[in-house]
Structure 1
Amino acid sequence: MHSSDLEDPTPFLDAGQLLLTDGTQFPVEAGTGTTAAGSLTGRESPQVPNSQGYEGYVRRLVDHGIVGLGFATQVIHGTLPKGLEEACRSQGLPLLEVPDRTPFIAIIRMVADHLAKEEHARAEWSLQAQRAISRAALRPDGLTSILGELERQLHSWVALYDAAGNYVRMPRNRPVPSTIADEVALRVRTALDLGTRSASHQDIHGESVTLQTLGRKGSLRGALVLGAIEPLDPARADIVNSVIGLASLALEQARTLDTARRHLRAGVFEQLLAGSTDVAISTARQVWGQLPRAPLLVTASRQDSPAPNLLEALELLADDHRGAVFYAMRGELLIVLTGRAHQDKVLELLRRHGAVCGVSTEVDMDGLPGALEEATRAMRRAAELNRPVVNFSELSDGGMLGLLREEEAGPVARGLLQPLIAHDTAQQTELLETVLQWFANDCVWDTTARHLGVHRHTLRNRIDSAGRILGLNLDGMRDRLELYAAVQFLDNA
């Protein structure tokens, strides 16, 4: 709160305050001045300002962030100036009359006492709320109780999201409003994908939302979202920070368990590769309930820059399906075992985290070592082709020529054969057709000559000419195979 009689007091004021004035800066309107001692009695009244003068004064206050104007009457002015009333009304600035020579210091002290009382009440509320949250943390369902208590204290909905950006439903908590649920989940995943600790206040479809990631940089464990509240004041911020600390601690403890489980997964997978299937199944049954049932698909993935939270997301997927999805790290390789029914979910999750994958053919447990090799080869091929996923069947069905088709070898083939095509066009010869017939007849001279209706020596001369034009020695296997591969893809050029 401030008091000033300057025509422009804004350089000396703080935003968000109430300004008090006795109006000395304004001329006294005829018939409204007071005759009390210390008034303008005996002094000639200056000219009454026009509406622009009041408008400008009020505009300066509003632009500076002053939230109200208190005007003393019966001191200089007998009543509120009409021009000032109109200016405050038009610009939305609250105007308070301070009558009967009420001392400004009394008002200032009253407001200061009220603010101090309110601040003490907020501090007391914050202390009691933190005690309630600490008691909630001691309950068996600590994290659930903490979030429920936070929701009760803030009178707003509170939502927890896991490391993969999935909403964690709490039994006693209010759900995220359906009108913004999808957008909130998208914002959470975006924040988690950055991999850094962050806090932000966002507007989502007209509703205020505060989003805070949980965990350490590069190893985020989830996010906390608070809805329908304005930016946090210090008291509420203390409460939220306490919850974030407790929730982060609970999630870090869960991380230690996750690390132990991953080591166990790696051991189980090595047992499967070694053929100790009974031991692996027995171990998995005690921890995860079961292993995926045959027939199995093996998916191999390697990332140069591992996406944050990928393993956490796989852990959640595996937990959701109670053993129907199994994953393990083997060196730098991430291996996933699952049946065809869940394969799409696995690939969708890996693609969302930017992984390049190779997928084996279907096998039983005994064929796992071979399937791992297939998946690894397919993964390398996916990286070469810059594709998110390649199935081994794409390689095996097409053989070596199938691999060349994936490389779109047509333009290369036309480039190699272009000298021969140009020669046939210029000289009206049929050397390319002769080469095609020669290969169609497995390079057997007599059979090809009969098919073309020419002498065997004529055929030999044509093939030798084609070789010279192309710079190839067609008596050798290597150059003959190169020309054979080129003519296979001529139609794709």
Structure 2
Amino acid sequence: MSTEDAPGIASVEGLQRALGLQMELTAIVTRGGGVQRLLTGWQHQTGEAVAVFDRLGRPLGRSTAFLPETLTAVGEALAESRPRLGRSIHLHPGTEALAGQAVEIVSFAGNDTVRGYLARVASGEESASLTVDSLCSLLALEYERHWLLDEPARRKRAEQLGRVLELGDDGGALALIRGLGINVDEVRGLAIEARHETHAEVLVDDLAAILNTTLIRHRGRIVECLVFSDPRQTLLDYQLDVPMGTGTPVHPRHAARSMRQAALALGTSQRIGVPIEYQDGATHEFLSRVASPDYLEAFVEAVLSPIEHARNGDVLLRTLFTWLIERRSVEATATRMRVHRHTIRNRIQRIAQLTGHDLEGIEAQTELWLALKARGFQEIESASPNG
């Protein structure tokens, strides 16, 4: 690792290309593209992979070609030394983490104060080298616009999100979102528990920028926002190690529903210690995560033990699982398991006797299905032949 002065002036042709690149980047910011699109635009125009870090050296975003291992290497370098304004740090491609990539790290500032750092896999292209300062200026502008929100701006965003959620699943929420200039096909809720209230305030500022959302607020330690693209990779790069829940992507008119899902997922994340994504149509999986391990094991034992402990119990369980998948069709179950339909019918009758349930009842089917899924049954298991 070495520290060097910023690059000097290049050729007239390079300056012309740099001017075009600067205009393209400015247009991205003018259109409200946000930090992520700015990084993506740079990579598209120059071929250079780039990433942004906050003033503490934490990753805030990267273009697709900026490798995760390189992101980690840069973060470690910034933990040791950070470039002052007007200077840069060069990481030479001698380590395995850099995967043969030479990385330049420069700072960007607002009001003569370092706000963050730009890391680029330098290509040596004149126009890219000449336009780095412009990219840093635009990043600083985005920082001022999103990260350094004053209290009235924070209140306004919180109020806007609150209004969207209060309108619920009707056309009013869609009209409000459109009125805010947000023209997207889907949104999803995100709920995060910060370490403390000050951390929540920092997250509101950071997430507004890196997720490019104006619909964000915090209530105590809980940060809530609506995002307009999949946030998982961005949050992974940000290295956020606190409980968080994500709702399913929905049409903007159903934003409140996705936020409710995110809140439920956050509750599970708080208990088991990993990020949770709510899954529509997979309630059994979600409930399995919500329940405590002791309760879940007791539930499964109570429901399935009469079948498990019976003769050929494993075959009966696979038959039951397949029968439920095949919507209680004896013929389809027999075909899938490659046995005679009379065999399947006899097994289902035996299961009904063992459990004491009418297997045509929805409550019995739901209970048995949840128990089978909690036991780890997957659809592929039911394809095994059982003669």
Category of TM-score, reference length = shorter chain:
0.3 to 0.5
TM-score by length of 1: 0.35
Which structure's CA Rg is the greater one? 1
TM-score by length of 2: 0.42
> Higher RCO, 1 or 2 (CA under 8 Å, sep at least 6)?
2
